[in-house]
Chain A
């Protein structure tokens, strides 16, 4: 399309033509080689501007050597007819254009050429006079044509530059909006890309395909020959416009998600490069065996890349013309696609993060709830203990009162008995209720996620404070990045304390080295374990009793009758773990606890 600026130039060209040549009709034809079209931005008849939107002067297909002004373009040289126009046209099989008018006596067409490219032609006619132009006329119009061509080309370059700047601004705007839209959903991002691309180019036929690699079968990219890469993922159409109509990609046939096959879209995914075939039909025959609905005349696809990863492809299509997309369009689309890819990746990361945060919050809620239950049950246990202690003696006291008083006041014996019995019954009731409460508090609350490192570190800090100097505490092998363990923290704490206390006490007389270490390990079947090792240089456990040490009330210490290792073993096993002990008399003991790591939070 000739812009206003070009029409203005042509109007001043017209002034020169009118002054220098005997002309009663002057017109300009501009040639569009991509669309193979001629347009007529200026027609001056008898000094008057003609309306260029009437039938004869609307843009029409270029006809090459068969039509009259077209032939001047075709032969890239001036074409002059000074007399017998009709006869000569008939003789050479050329058709005069425009139709329906009287043929002029003189006709001269001079192509406008820039660097060997023909961009159009200037035509002068004289209906009343033969030999109106002559060789001098050809020279004059040729000079004008050369200058006009140069000026038009300059204007076009200038306009292209302006458009590029505008594109750049628009693309920047896309980027800005996408960056602001960190909380946009994937679909919202696709719509924003479409909306922004529409400002820059013809998007009446556009789609955005998203690519998701197969989780089990990784794609095999061939960096030497990218077109031979093999991909196994799925192509899903996030958004599609077909001839200005929004496609319902969820339900419309042909647009449903498909296993990556051999379309042009997949070609872009495989090569990770923009693709803009000059001959689409050939491209479909050679590299694409699948396509959606139709073979367009123009096709351009650019990958949406994040790093080296293809998230999808943005595709523009045109059903009417070949090669409507140029390098500029490709660059603009590439920039938009790049920004879109980053935005989509961010949106996905953000969505993932939101999900993780939600899971964590739920877990935390659960833990808080359990914490409350635990607190309640501890309070209840304490209450029960106190009731038992305080009220437990009432029956004994009542019994004594009964014995003492009934001897002294025989006349009051009956009512005394009744009241005392009442107190007894009430007390028993109270104690039974307390007993039931005690039983219910023994239903231990649900397990929670325990940070073992935190727990062990706390215990070690306390040990350092309480341990005499001749026992040296070593804890440099504590793994800080332990996964959590599922259990009841207070129980696990007690279990670990029992082990560490044993180790320290074993060295109270001899002194020595106390070592505590933690580690995370995976076994052969991939299960994760949190390991805790406590090592002392105490007196050790004789081999013949080593197998008894986990029995209830067993002790090597003589003075203490701990529930110690029995309780530890119970706790560890209730968590699904194991406890083992190695010991040598006179050398020391190593207690090894391993606990199953809690499964990582998954979706």
Chain B
């Protein structure tokens, strides 16, 4: 990877406990030329973050499907930000109580989005956002 010039193609981590989401986002982003790694759990994601320098991390909030109030994704977000990694974070969720978006941004996530309608994912915009985040991360890196 040429680190000297910011490119719109980067190294991306997808953390989601749902296989179909990991798969589709992986395929979509690879199609756009990104390198993608996926992880289904908090621990696995931590390990990956230690070994690789990701441009963007896409984090689902609820990583334990059986726990209705699970927020492991936010723990990971805070760890990334506390550790001072340059990785930009996009948090996505199927459901969140009011106030979540503000909170997520306070912890330091670059972008927050819902997975589903009515505020759901706009694919075109999503791809643009990822591209922008990659650039942003690489600029920081410079």
Contact = CB atoms under 8 A, between A and B. Distances in A.
Contacts of B69: 494, 563, 567
Contact of A392 (B75, B107, B116): B116
B97 to A, nearest CB: 7
Nearest to A395: B123
Given A385-B95, A392-B120, A561-B71, A400 B28 contact: yes
Contacts of B33: none
A36 to B, nearest CB: 95
A498 to B, nearest CB: 10
B24 A428 contact: no
B20 to A, nearest CB: 5
A277 B73 CA distance: 93
B31 interface: yes
Contacts of B71: 561-563
Contacts of B21: 389, 392-393
A559 interface: yes
A303 to B, nearest CB: 66
Contacts of B120: 392, 395, 431
Given A552-B103, A561-B74, A561-B75, A397 B116 contact: no
B97 A563 contact: yes
B25 interface: yes
A573 B37 CA distance: 44
A553 B99 CA distance: 10
A390 B20 contact: yes
A393 B103 CA distance: 26
A173 to B, nearest CB: 68
A400 B31 contact: yes
A423 interface: no
A567 B98 CA distance: 12
Nearest to A567: B69
Interface residues of B, number: 29
Interface string B25-51: 101100100000000000000000000
Interface string B90-104: 000011010100010
B7 interface: no
Interface string A527-565: 000000000000000000000000011000001111100
A501 to B, nearest CB: 12
B17 to A, nearest CB: 9
A432 interface: yes
A396 B24 contact: yes
A396 B97 contact: no
B117 A435 contact: yes
A115 interface: no
Interface in A558-597: 559-563, 567
Interface residues of A, number: 28
A118 B134 CA distance: 132
Interface string B57-86: 000000000001101001100100000000
B116 A552 contact: no
Contacts of A385: 94-95
Contact of A432 (B25, B95, B117, B123): B117
Contact of A396 (B25, B95, B103, B107): B25
A388 B65 CA distance: 12
B24 A393 contact: yes
Interface string A407-451: 000000000000000000000100110110010000000000000
A120 to B, nearest CB: 101
A142 B102 CA distance: 125
A392 B31 contact: no
Contacts of A393: 20-21, 23-24
Contacts of A434: 116
Contact of A388 (B106, B107, B116): B116
A252 interface: no
Nearest to A428: B117
A523 interface: no
A397 B28 CA distance: 8
Given A396-B25, A396-B123, A400-B27, A560 B75 contact: yes
A392 B118 contact: no
A53 interface: no
Interface of A: 381, 385, 388-390, 392-393, 395-397, 399-400, 403, 428, 431-432, 434-435, 438, 494, 552-553, 559-563, 567
Give the 10 A-B CB pairs with smallest separation, nearest first: A393-B24, A388-B94, A396-B24, A553-B103, A561-B74, A393-B20, A399-B123, A392-B115, A389-B18, A388-B116
16 contacts: A388-B95, A389-B20, A389-B94, A390-B20, A392-B21, A392-B94, A392-B116, A393-B20, A400-B24, A428-B117, A553-B74, A553-B103, A553-B106, A559-B75, A560-B75, A561-B107
Given A393-B24, A400-B28, 14 more contacts: A381-B68, A385-B94, A392-B121, A393-B23, A395-B120, A396-B25, A396-B123, A400-B27, A438-B95, A552-B99, A553-B107, A562-B71, A563-B71, A567-B69
